Amino acid sequence: MTDKPIVVALDYDNKADALTLIDKLDPAMCRLKIGKEMFTLFGPTLVKDIHNRNFDLFLDLKFHDIPNTVAKAVSAAADLGVWMTNVHASGGLAMMQAAKNALASYGKDAPLLIAVTVLTSMSDEDLALLGINVPAFEHVLRLAKLTHQAGLDGVVCSAQEAKLLKSTFGETFKLVTPGIRPAGSDAGDQHRIMTPPQAIAVGSDYLVIGRPITKAVDPLAALTAIHQSLQTEV
Ligand SMILES: O=C(O)c1cc(=O)[nH]c(=O)n1[C@@H]1O[C@H](COP(=O)(O)O)[C@@H](O)[C@H]1O
């Protein structure tokens, strides 16, 4: 299992609440993710606040634009010193190559760059409405091939595709899997889900987990329970 596989997704509209939670968490137990909501509300200052607390940060802005724009956005993310950032693989090979090239000058300080394949909230039926008439796993594989070709560090996918992708692309291609739901917790808007121990067992490197922790009555207890389930059940 990867060192510190749990990435807590902080989707809060209130910075004080988010910092209260962060201050209860141990950077040795998890990494953190902020996305479009928190970055739009609180910007680079929040990134600094999180770094000052010694957490690795995944800046999840899912860039998807023309290659030049995405390259500059990814560079701006690298300037913030984040641990990981992402683009949408559906932006295409040239866009992903431009993003990768933009990080070359950062050397070992470059963030991990990964690409979102098919969002975990999407089902085969949702894809069909977009004119994509193949099962989600096939489209994920197609987008992961492009991502691998572009030289990125890995993909965001659901844990349901992890086994296929690990066996196709090997150990070093990182699989970041949201849509993680401990047994018995509410799926919400997620469709392609798996429990934390199952996800690790099939090859996920990082588990992105939001509401099962942040909306729990006791978020620290929820995180600790997931952490322990990985130690005992995997
Ligand atoms: O890139 C992501 O992190 C992401 C990709 C994806 O396919 N599905 C997905 O849920 N996410 C993010 O992962 C987090 C999941 O949160 P919960 O559903 O609350 O556990 C959210 O912050 C989403 O934005």
User: Rounded to an integer, what distance in angstroms lies between the CA atom of residue 170 and that of residue 75?
Assistant: 27
Which residues are marked as active site?
Answer: 62
CATH number of the domain at 88, please. Answer: 3.20.20.70
pLDDT tens-digit readout, 85-96: 999 999 999 999
Own/partner contacts of 123-126, CB < 8 Å, gap of 24 or more, are: 123/191, 123/192, 126/191
Predicted local distance difference test score (pLDDT) of residue 152: 98
Q: Is residue 122 part of a domain?
A: yes
Instruction: Tell me how far the alpha carbon of residue 178 lies from the centroid of ligand 1, in angstroms.
Output: 5
d(CA 163, CA 231) in angstroms, rounded, equals 20
Residue 217 belongs to domain spanning: 6-233
Whether 148 has a binding-site annotation, put simply, is: no
Does ligand 1 come within 6 angstroms of the Cβ of 175? no
Tens of pLDDT along the chain (234 residues)? 899 999 999 999 999 999 999 999 999 999 999 999 999 999 999 999 999 999 999 999 999 999 999 999 999 999 999 999 999 999 999 999 999 999 999 999 999 999 999 999 999 999 999 999 999 999 999 999 999 999 999 999 999 999 999 999 999 999 999 999 999 999 999 999 999 999 999 999 999 999 999 999 999 999 999 999 999 988
Structural domains in the chain (count): 1
Compute the distance from residue 63 Cα to the ligand 1 centre, in Å: 14
Domain membership of residue 1 (yes or no) is: no
- Ligand 1 atom at shortest distance from the alpha carbon of 215: 19
Q: How far apart, in whole angstroms, are the C-alpha atoms of residue 234 and residue 18? A: 30
Give the ipTM of the model, two decimals please: 0.98
**pLDDT at 234 (0 to 100):** 80
Residue 173, CA atoms < 13 Å, CB-side half-sphere? 24
